[in-house]
Amino acid sequence: MARVPVIRLGATLIATVLEDLQDSDALDLQENLSAALERTGAEGVLLDISVVETVDSFLGRLLNDVAAAARLLGAVTVVVGVQPAVAITLVELGLGLSGVHTALTVEKGMALLERLLASARRQGRYGNY
């Protein structure tokens, strides 16, 4: 069974997908992240899917759901590493992942999270992510 390690870096949780996920692994990831957010009060989630070659409608929807649940738990989510072929396929499936922020790399993703969190703090904690 593939596990997705979730590590904490300051106020951010970083989850790196290491291999092709089965449906139950993806659901576990969603649960683990939500639990971790509740437990730690982290404000940011970085989800690294750069090794994922196939993102179908199930995983696509799950990514949206992860971001939606994170938002309710007071955190903003950035997905990084969407491969070009995956991006094109998702768009053709009609899934733009509009509920999720994205960045090309982990580095850019962390920078984006910083900007989003800084702007949220300026607007007051309950600003719209």
Q: Enumerate binding residues for another protein (CB under 8 A).
A: 20-24, 53-58, 80, 82-94, 96-98, 102-105, 108-109, 112
- In whole angstroms, the minimum distance from the beta carbon of 29 to another protein comes to 15
Token reading at 89: 């396929």
Residue 55 DSSP one-character state:
-
- In whole angstroms, the minimum distance from the beta carbon of 4 to another protein comes to 15
Nearer to another protein, 84 or 124 (CB): 84
| Sign of the Cα pseudo-torsion (9, 46, 17, 5, in order) | positive
Edge-to-edge order in the sheet of strand 76-80? 6-9, 12-16, 44-48, 76-80, 101-103
- In whole angstroms, the minimum distance from the beta carbon of 39 to another protein comes to 28
- In whole angstroms, the minimum distance from the beta carbon of 121 to another protein comes to 19
Nearer to another protein, 9 or 88 (CB): 88
Encode burial over 82-97: b for 16+ CB neighbours within 10 A, e otherwise: beeebeebbeeeebeb
| Sign of the Cα pseudo-torsion (98, 101, 103, 106, in order) | negative
Nearer to another protein, 14 or 86 (CB): 86
Nearer to another protein, 15 or 112 (CB): 112
